[in-house]
Chain A
């Protein structure tokens, strides 16, 4: 076993997902099937090989710091589940 029920519960927590008890087993099995297959990868010797996160030789892409028109506030809020006085509204975070 590469990944246990406990691991799955932990990644679910990190991912802000709630997995019903009945489904934990299924996900554990499916993730294991992949990770066991990916063993082929972890056994490959890659000493001295640079990682490629991105295929283009791009570093930081800069632009001039100029004020330009941006999205209208009303439009930016138009898809918000909840809004108030021009702000996104979320459930209370702080106590008191």
Chain B
């Protein structure tokens, strides 16, 4: 029936108008998964039986004449570092290969309350450490726009599934760009909310002061709807913001007249791909033509952000990942004594990138280096944040590229971690500062790979981001383009 390439809001209307049933929709997605998942490899775990039961329950509700809410019966997927009770949550790591959480993350509880159809759990870089999903301990995920390319990461499975039509919507997590960059690489909309806007309870911790959960969707309308479900205060997350979440769908208006858009020159870095620069500059020109005022701003500490980010994120990771010791959950490899057991477990079950980051973080926190690296990184974090504070005194939002290049070939960067880290230049300052950022499709490279525009907002400024992104989207056709793999054969 080819329902798999439609956005959630269209499918929701079709369900209400009884043009389709939730079971038909689920079966359409299963057929699509059977057709293309072998090439894309977006999933780690599929939950078809439960999905079908969820779909049947929604159909019964519709048959009884009851109203259904937005995501009811709409198939989606969840990144495999978000805990799902009774369903394996692996973090794409051998360490958690057989881990079955005894509880749900708060976002999963919130989703369950509105009866979506959950198709499964998606692939990622191990413990969300990476930008290409090649660091998965199981297999890399492929980009539906060109299966030789990476889908981005670390939420690469969540993005690839939506782009391939093997899910309608997804949840990802973003520590340094892990929602926005794969959304950009796969031609989708990805939102990293303000730090604390969405509960982190049940999100397996990578870098606790930077991690946020957010949606990856086909368009801005779906993004607003999913945010309505997952945003809000949670007493189980002491870092969640105790402020009521607005109705984000009210921001789906086409209007940027008088909006002040800041253009930070430091984000247009040397070595940026020409197609990316052209698409982003073109998008900025369009926003200006729609009535926005473009203001050049300077954010002088941008060049320090990658160093500060990698020191802080790895320091937090080295502490967070200390819990994987073969005792209370996760894998264990027997040793000659308990310390040997710790070492063997961690050495055999963590992948190389995870070990590299644990060691870097441990080094940055260790005696003699703490002041020079970790503490200095925290001071620079203050300066990076002040750049945003100052910019937002003058403008409402900032507009930048998401990444210096479109999706690259699988294998191109794996041998050079430093080169890979430099790809995060436009996204990590947003996490360091805790502000929200959205990725919205703004063009294609000459060889047909999607390019994303980043819009950055003030703390709790998601509504302005959604309005700006929606206005841009509705004046273009990018979000209607379908990954070649997705065309019905």
Does the CB pair B382–A50 fall under 8 Å? yes
Instruction: Report the Cα distance A61→B237, complex, angstroms.
Output: 10
Interface string of B335-357 (1 = CB under 8 A from A): 10111011110110010000110
Does the CB pair A49–B379 fall under 8 Å? yes
**Chain B residue at minimum C-beta to C-beta distance from A16:** B342
Does the CB pair B307–A38 fall under 8 Å? yes
Instruction: Report the Cα distance A8→B376, complex, angstroms.
Output: 21
Q: Does chain B have a CB within 8 A of A41?
A: yes
Chain A nearest Cβ from B214, distance in angstroms = 16
**Chain A residue at minimum C-beta to C-beta distance from B347:** A18
Of B20-28, B36-44, B320-328, the segment with at least 4 beta carbons within 8 Å of chain A is: B320-328
Q: Does chain B have a CB within 8 A of A85?
A: no
Chain B contacts with A in 75-101, Cβ cutoff 8 A:
98-100
A-B contact count (CB 8 A): 153
Q: Does chain A have a CB within 8 A of B458?
A: no
**Chain B residue at minimum C-beta to C-beta distance from A79:** B329
Q: Does chain A have a CB within 8 A of B373?
A: yes
Q: Is the interface of B mostly helix, strand, loop or mixed?
A: helix
Interface string of B375-394 (1 = CB under 8 A from A): 11111111101000000000
Q: Which residues of A contact B338 (CB under 8 A)?
A: 90-93
Q: Which residues of A contact B356 (CB under 8 A)?
A: 27, 30-31
**Chain A residue at minimum C-beta to C-beta distance from B331:** A81
Does the CB pair A37–B418 fall under 8 Å? yes
Instruction: Report the Cα distance A42→B363, complex, angstroms.
Output: 15
Q: Which of A14, A19, A46, A53 contacts B362 (CB 8 A)?
A: A14
**Chain A residue at minimum C-beta to C-beta distance from B208:** A54
Does the CB pair A18–B377 fall under 8 Å? no
Q: Which of A42, A52, A54, A56 contacts B373 (CB 8 A)?
A: A42
Q: Which of A10, A15, A51, A75 contacts B346 (CB 8 A)?
A: A15
Does the CB pair B363–A30 fall under 8 Å? no
Does the CB pair B209–A54 fall under 8 Å? yes
* Given A18-B344, A56-B195, A80-B328: A3 touches B373 (CB 8 Å cut-off): no
Closest 4 CB pairs of A and B: A55-B434, A51-B378, A79-B329, A81-B332
Excluding A17-B358, A18-B343, A40-B304, 16 further A-B contacts by CB distance (< 8 Å) are: A27-B356, A31-B359, A33-B418, A37-B307, A38-B307, A38-B311, A41-B308, A41-B380, A42-B372, A49-B383, A79-B100, A79-B329, A81-B331, A88-B328, A90-B341, A91-B338
